[in-house]
Amino acid sequence: MKIHGITAEMLAGQPPIAQVLPVFRAFVADTVLVAHNAAFDMRFLELKETPTGIRFDRPVLDTFLLSAVLFPNQETHRLEAIAERLGVSVMGRHTAVGDAIVTAEVFLKMLPLLAEKGIRTLGQAREASEKTYHARITY
């Protein structure tokens, strides 16, 4: 509630996770997932693997880690800070649509910067991300 403003009333009558996850998994079936601080979100999905039988094994690119690749000397890699660095407007923060739009715009601004560093493929981006200090964070 403190972060997202989601109340118990808003959740009342909504479909359970076991019903939602298969639909979402089908939606992302053939794609690369792009998220900010993806390890945090992926941990929630991992916790639901056994009870739902749904596994998210798609490749993931994390704008948090990519920021650490592009801006290694920056103090913070919060989404707001990256957006400011890249000239991306932040609206609707901590809402599903708002965060998705900001993350997408940040990611698109990162692509040419990554290419300048010789990072042009999914494999190269994942490898560079995994080498950052922040890739060690677990939830």
Q: How far apart are the first and last CA of the chain?
A: 20
Distance, in Å, from the CA atom of 65 to the CA atom of 135, rounded to the nearest integer, reads 7
DSSP 8-class letter at 15: P
Residues forming the active site: 94
Burial 90-112 (b: 16+ CB within 10 A, else e): beeeeeeeebebbbebbbebbee
User: Nearest 5°: CA angle at 27, between 22 and 29?
Assistant: 90
Q: Specify whether the CB–CB gap between 57 and 124 falls below 8 A.
A: no
